[in-house]
Structure 1
Amino acid sequence: MHLPSEKILENVYGESQISLKRFKSLAQHFKSHFKTEQVEYFSSPGRTEIIGNHTDHNGGKVIAASIDMDTIGAAFPNNSNIVCIVSEGYEKEIIVDLSSDDEIPLNEGTLSLVAGMMKVTKNFGFKVSGFNAYVSTNVISSAGVSSSASFEMLICSVINYFFNNNELNYIDYAQIGQYAENKYWNKASGLMDQMACAVGGTILLDFSKNVKFEKVDFSFAQIGYDLIIINTGKGHADLSHEYSEIPLEMKLIAHKLGTSHLSENDLSDILNRFSEIESSVTNDRAILRSLHFFEENHRVNEAISAIREENRKQLLKLIEESGNSSWKWLQNCHSEENYKEQKVSLVLALTELFLRKIGDGCCRVHGGGFAGVIMSIVPKTETSNYIQFISRFVTINNIYPLQIRKFGAIHFE
């Protein structure tokens, strides 16, 4: 069985031997399970959100990037109507009969997600057919780095390569994944996760009308910092309802202003009609979350300017402000239903003590929030000291120094 070349692996991963070992294992498992040596290889990264927390679902802006954790897959068409996916670490195969896509079960995890993606792809006018795939991932699950979107974009790249002559674009990928999550998984997600995983590198996303993205030449390494993700010890898989309340509450305020999304308004619209809105919605949190949206959108614009002007100090200040707004205004650092468990807030507080002492860096909640992970931006000269410090409070295996990856969802030629 052929494998991706060491040159290609080094270009994608920065090294070849560790990644070659992963793909050798993937190939062996695929051959053993599906009894064939015909195979192609695919990869899709996880993502980090740099700034723009919970703005995408209301037409806002985000700066996001792919990371060097990824989902990899070995796949090949099986000349049938059956999609069969084996995901490493999960006992049950995912089996979808494409001839029965009107009988898709709802809210049955990955089965519903894959079946939904197949149906949506056809509804979008693209082709699907049966294939076999063996999938493995090192993207931490239920922890805010979009393991689900990474998986979705991998499947999109498989469908695109085998059945559509690479005619799907990144926005097609993202919309297929998002629609399947919304419709078949009951998760009110925006498009940010999927776009960041699909495109790769650092990107500026604008969801105000049609989805637009722009590649940005940026990594934290370029300015002398390390990006460190800390898994605080509890996933957010059982908190979908709290995650979904954020876009719903923001849209509630938008509707009071006569629009469908907050991006169609500005901050003055709320302030000028504050008494009317407050009395009609009787939901102060919804107003706070909407105020966060407008200020966060403004911060994204300022952050892009800081990146282009190579103003490191201003960029870190804006990321810190973004994190504080998520903590206080957006209120997605702990679950209201289990307010005594505040691992995200606790690890943020401990990190702030360290950063205050060294007088540099910043931190913030990462991703959807409520549980999961935080993001710390630490000077490279202090990274080992920070890891030593924070490992007193969280398990060392839950500390992940990351790099921004140049490539999104890809087929290895």
Structure 2
Amino acid sequence: MRQINQIVEEMKAGAFRELLRDIYVDEGVIGYQEERYVRALGEYVKIFGEQEVEIYSAPGRSEVGGNHTDHQHGMVLATSINLDAIAIVNKNEDSSVNIYSDGYGMIELCADELEKRPEEESTSAGLIRGVLAGLSERGYKVGGFNAYVTSDVLNGAGMSSSAAFETIIGTIISGLYNDMVISMVEIAQVGQYAENVYFGKPCGLMDQTACAVGGLIHIDFADPAKPIVEKVNVDFEEHKYSLCIVDTKGSHHDLTDDYAKIPEEMKLVAEFFGKEFLREVPKADFYANIAALREKTGDRPVLRALHFFEDNDRVADQVNALNNGDFEGFLKMIKQSGDSSFKYLQNIYTNKDVQNQSMSIALAVSEMTLKDHGVCRVHGGGFAGTIQAFVQNDFVETYRAALDAVFGEGACHVLKVRKYGGMKVM
């Protein structure tokens, strides 16, 4: 641990620029990150006083392939991005966990009291308690700490701000109490446990794994207890394309039921074949039984299952294309995945509010603007939040201007792939 005033002086003098460049990739954001870290350190002092501290980071993520495939034990392609949550942290000895989350205020709980509390469902306190409980159940040491957390991962916008938060809590416990020996895959699994059990939101493991592990990764969840994680080496700059995320300013508030219906309906199809998850059902058997399935489950579960089978296969094809240098083929499959999500998965807007279709508008404006200069698709869970586009570098400003004109200045974010997941910065 290091004294805050010393870190601030060195940060202002530029001593950490190479470290920040390594983490955040983009030279254009280094000044912003220096100011952000100094501000966070100052806020910690205001709340907890001048202390020796450590600094932790956990990134947001961008889903690149496999939309809603993970909760059916399928495959995904995902990447960490250079937006993150950072935490200024000091270990304490009284088992109290005191986390001041920027914009949300103080959260207090005891590391010795980790039973689920129904009143904490859908709260940050539930996520924190769930992560600590999950790590404790796995035999790891947990304890108290003070932390100031701030995040520039867009909240409610499909970049997994909650998974970044779960990851940073798990990484703090790994660093403070377990010598950083907890694997990032385990931290991801514990994050999913916290979100499923303590927060009360059904989700797969993709968000947490992408945030925790870092880099562009291919994940196979055939056995969720032991997901197979493979790094995919591709330099988007080499192909002269940028990753753009457009925030349509739609909130995920009150959409939990819409998300829950997707795995619920997919499982109805799996149950028709005596299975629990669609990954266990032979694709040929599904197609041979569509008529019977329609009668048994209704049409939407069939369409959503169809999306799963095709998008799951598409992930492997995307990885092969990237490994073989076929970037045009990869882009074509990005568009195919987006079309499948809109037509079959049906997660672009909620049918409870058909007059609010910000993502539909974003996709339409993107296609009309991009033409042969890029491709776009839904990003993340859907229903609200963000879309994703891969845009030729020399067309990025044209694309940004078109989308900002619809959704407001700063709606289009040009991001970089970050190679680190959850980490101790210093």
Give the TM-score normalised by the residue count of structure 2: 0.93
For residues 12-70 of structure 1, what are the alpha-carbon distances to aligned partners after superposition, in whole Å with 9 as ceiling and x for unaligned? 12344332221111111112211232100011110000111000000111110001111
* Residue of structure 2 aligned with 1:393, choices 406, 411, 417: 406
Residues in 2 aligned to 1:311 and 1:367: alpha-carbon distance in whole angstroms: 24
Identity rate, percent:
37
Write out aligned runs for 1:184-263 (5 A).
184-209=198-223, 210-263=226-279
1:25 maps to what in 2? 39
* Residue of structure 1 aligned with 2:107, choices 94, 98, 106: 94
Write out aligned runs for 1:70-81 (5 A).
70-81=84-95
1:312 maps to what in 2? 327
Contact 2:373–2:395 (Cα < 8 Å) also in 1: no
**Range that drifts further, 4-13 or 234-243:** 4-13
* Residue of structure 1 aligned with 2:316, choices 301, 321, 334: 301
Residues in 2 aligned to 1:237 and 1:163: alpha-carbon distance in whole angstroms: 35
2:417 maps to what in 1? 404
- How much has 1:164 moved relative to structure 2? 1.1
Q: Is structure 2 residue 24 aligned with structure 1 residue 13?
A: yes
User: Where does the alignment leave 5 or more consecutive residues of structure 1 unmatched?
Assistant: none
1:382 maps to what in 2? 395
Name the SS for the 1:336 alignment partner. coil
Residues in 2 aligned to 1:394 and 1:402: alpha-carbon distance in whole angstroms: 18
Amino acid at match of 2:292: E
Q: Is structure 2 residue 289 aligned with structure 1 residue 273?
A: yes
Name the SS for the 2:406 alignment partner. coil
Residues in 2 aligned to 1:7 and 1:274: alpha-carbon distance in whole angstroms: 56
* Residue of structure 2 aligned with 1:322, choices 317, 333, 337: 337
Equivalent residues, number: 409
Residues in 2 aligned to 1:350 and 1:322: alpha-carbon distance in whole angstroms: 18
Name the SS for the 1:122 alignment partner. helix
Amino acid at match of 2:198: Y
Q: Is structure 2 residue 176 aligned with structure 1 residue 162?
A: yes
Contact 2:122–2:200 (Cα < 8 Å) also in 1: no
Name the SS for the 1:205 alignment partner. strand
Name the SS for the 1:165 alignment partner. coil
For the aligned residue pairs, the C-alpha RMSD in angstroms reads 1.3
1:133 maps to what in 2? 147
Residues in 1 aligned to 2:65 and 2:291: alpha-carbon distance in whole angstroms: 30
Residues in 1 aligned to 2:218 and 2:242: alpha-carbon distance in whole angstroms: 20
Name the SS for the 1:102 alignment partner. coil
- How much has 1:103 moved relative to structure 2? 5.5
* Residue of structure 2 aligned with 1:60, choices 49, 63, 74: 74
Name the SS for the 1:278 alignment partner. helix
- How much has 1:108 moved relative to structure 2? 4.4
Contact 2:116–2:130 (Cα < 8 Å) also in 1: no
Q: Is structure 2 residue 364 aligned with structure 1 residue 353?
A: no
1:337 maps to what in 2? 352
2:384 maps to what in 1? 371
Residues in 2 aligned to 1:103 and 1:46: alpha-carbon distance in whole angstroms: 26
Name the SS for the 1:135 alignment partner. strand
Contact 2:59–2:422 (Cα < 8 Å) also in 1: yes
User: Where does the alignment leave 5 or more consecutive residues of structure 2 unmatched?
Assistant: none
Amino acid at match of 2:22: N
